[in-house]
Amino acid sequence: MTSFDPTVEDLLRRLAPRVVGVLTRRHGDFAAAEDAVQEALLDASTQWPAEGVPRNPRGWLVQVAGRRMTEQVRSEQARRRREELVAGRVPADRRSAPGADAVDQGAHDDTLTLLFLCCHPVLSPASAIALTLRSVGGLTTGEIAAAFLVPEATMGQRISRAKQRIKGSGVPFRTPDGAEWPARLDAVLHVLYLIFNEGYASSTGPGLRRVELSREAIRLTRAVHALLPEDAEVAGLLALMLLTEARGPARTGPHGELVPLAEQDRGRWDTAAIAEGVSLITAALPRGPVGPYQVQAAIAAVHDEAPTAADTDWPQILALYGVLARVSDNPLIILNRAVAVAMVDGPAAGLALLADPPRVLTGHHRLYAVRAHLHELAGDPEAAAADYRIAARRTASLPERHHLSLRAARLAARTGE
Amino acid sequence: MKYMLLMQFSEKNADFPKLEEWRPEEIQAHIRFMKETNTGLAAAGELVDAQGLAMPETARIVRSHSGGAPVVTEGPFPESKEWVAGWWIVDCDTEQRAIEIAALVSAAPGPGGRPLDMPIEVRQIMTAPPTEL
Please tell me the predicted confidence (pLDDT) of residue A107. 46
Domain residue extents for chain B: 2-124
Dist CA A144 CA A45 (whole Å) = 17
DSSP A208: T
Chain A residue with minimum CA distance to B124? A396
In A402-412, which positions are buried (b, 16+ CB within 10 angstroms) versus exposed (e)? bbbbebbeebb
Interchain pair B128, A159: CB under 8 A: no
Which is nearest to A147 in space by CA: A167, A168, A162, A126?
Answer: A126
A405 interface with B at CB cutoff 8 Å:
no
Rounded CA Rg of chain B: 17
Tell me if B7 sits within 8 A of B85, measured CB to CB: yes
Is there a contact between A203 and B128 if contact means CB atoms under 8 Å apart?
yes
Q: Is A111 on the interface with B (CB under 8 A)?
A: no
Residues in B whose CB is inside 8 Å of some CB of A read 1-2, 42-49, 91-93, 124-133
Q: Give the model's pLDDT for residue A258.
A: 83
**Which has the minimum average pLDDT: A374-388, B30-44, B65-79?**
B65-79
Q: Is the peptide bond before A289 cis (omega within 30 degrees of 0)?
A: yes
pLDDT tens per residue, chain A (417 residues)?
Answer: 344 567 788 888 888 888 998 888 888 888 888 889 988 988 898 888 888 899 999 999 999 999 988 887 777 666 556 556 555 555 554 445 544 444 444 445 577 788 888 888 788 888 898 999 998 888 888 888 888 888 999 999 999 999 988 888 877 766 666 667 777 898 899 899 988 988 887 654 555 567 778 888 999 999 899 888 999 999 999 999 999 999 988 988 887 788 889 999 999 999 999 999 999 999 999 987 899 999 999 999 999 999 999 999 999 999 999 999 999 988 889 999 999 999 999 999 999 999 999 888 888 899 999 999 999 999 999 999 999 999 999 988 888 888 999 999 999 888 765
DSSP-based three-state secondary structure for A325:
helix
Cα angle: A329, vertex A211, A137; to 5 degrees? 80
The model carries a pTM of: 0.80
- A334, A361 Cβ separation under 8 angstroms: yes
Which phi and psi angles does B91 have, rounded to 5°? Answer: -120, 105
Question: Superfamily assignment of B2-124 in CATH?
Answer: Dimeric alpha+beta barrel (3.30.70.1060)
Alpha-helix residue ranges (DSSP H) falling in A259-380: 271-284, 292-305, 314-327, 332-345, 347-353, 365-377
Chain B residues in contact with A241 by the CB 8 A cut-off are: none
Which chain A residue has the Cα nearest residue B91?
A150
- CB-closest option in B93, B124, B127 to A125: B93
